Amino acid sequence: MVAGKPQDIELIFRVDPGFHINSHQPKDELLIPTALKLDEAAGVKILSQQYPIGAAFKVAVGSDREVLDVYTGEFRVGLRLTAPRGATTLSGTLHYQACDNAACFPPRNLPVSLTLTAK
């Protein structure tokens, strides 16, 4: 990375086979969106976050078939940021709710940590 210049990085996440998580913008306001929250770090400015488009996923609910907007398998969250000279560690969490074809589980926070080195 170049210190003080906007840079693009990607964080890669993986959803276990047989499960899905709601996208960043689920179709139903009652569903819990996937959201990356990073703590402040000295000199680091998060300029933007870019989430992928979710995939349509049909779930049988009673006699209806509801279509959800979800992530399955691997998905990436892009960050555009600036960092100061030297090494800086960013920490935070990915908030999500995992579901399978029969049920949804309580929301969870996955710890996220990455080290940036800018010259």
Show me where the domains of the chain are located.
Answer: 7-118
The answer regarding whether domain 7-118 maps to CATH 2.60.40.1250 reads yes
Q: What is the pLDDT of residues 19-75, one digit of tens each?
A: 999 999 998 888 999 999 999 999 999 999 999 999 998 876 654 567 889 999 999
State how far the Cα of 82 lies from the Cα of 80, in Å rounded to an integer.
Answer: 7
**99: pLDDT strictly greater than 70:** yes
pLDDT at site 34: 98
What average pLDDT does the chain have? 92
**23 within 8 A of 53, measured Cβ to Cβ:** yes
Residue 16 has what pLDDT?
A: 96
State the DSSP H helix or E strand holding residue 35, giving kind and residue range, or none if neither: strand 35-38
User: What is the 3 state secondary structure string of 55-108?
Assistant: EEEEEEECCEEEEEEEECCEEEEEEEEECCCEEEEEEEEEEECEECCCCECCCE
Q: Model confidence at 1, in pLDDT bands (50, 70, 90)? A: confident
